[in-house]
Amino acid sequence: MLSVAVLISGAGSNLRALLDAAADPDFPARIVVVGADREADGFAHAEEYGIPTFMVPFAQFGTREEWGAELGAQLEVWRPDLVVLSGLMRLLPRDLVDAWSPRIVNTHPAYLPEFPGAHGVRDALAAGVAQTGASVIVVDNGVDSGPIVAQERVPVLPGDDEHALHERIKPVERRLLIDVVRRVATGELDLAAASANAAH
Ligand code: GAR
- CATH label of the domain that carries residue 195: 3.40.50.170
Ligand 1 close to Cβ of residue 14 (< 6 A): yes
Of the candidates 77, 108, 81, 110, which has an alpha carbon nearest to the alpha carbon of residue 190?
A: 81
Note whether 26 and 116 are same-domain residues. no
Same domain, yes or no: 33 and 123: no
**Residue at a domain's end among 71, 100, 129:** 100
The total domain count for the chain is: 2
- Whether residue 181 is contained in a domain is answered as no
pLDDT of residue 196: 87
Do 10 and 95 belong to one domain?
Answer: yes
CA 86 to mean position of chain CA atoms: 3
CA of 18 from ligand 1 middle (Å) equals 13
CA of 170 to the centre of ligand 1 (A): 8
Query: Given 82, 100, 118, which residue is the final one in a domain?
Result: 100
Q: Same structural domain for residues 139 and 82? A: no
Instruction: Tell me the pLDDT tens digit for each residue of 20-78.
Output: 999 999 999 999 999 999 999 999 999 999 999 999 999 999 899 999 999 999 999 99
Per-residue CA distances from 138 to 6, 13, 51, 163 (Å): 14, 20, 24, 26
Cα 148 to Cα 19: distance, rounded to the nearest angstrom: 23
The finding on whether 13 has its CB within 6 A of some atom of ligand 1 is yes
| Nearest of 135, 99, 102, 97 to residue 116 by alpha carbon | 135
Both 195 and 115 in a single domain? yes
Chain-centre distance of CA 71, in angstroms? 15
Q: Is the CB of 37 under 6 A from ligand 1?
A: no
Q: Which residues are catalytic?
A: 108
Domain boundary, last residue among 100, 129, 162: 100
pLDDT digits (tens, 9 = 90+) for 71-123: 999 999 999 999 999 999 999 999 999 999 999 999 999 999 999 999 999 99
Range of the domain at 197: 107-173+187-200
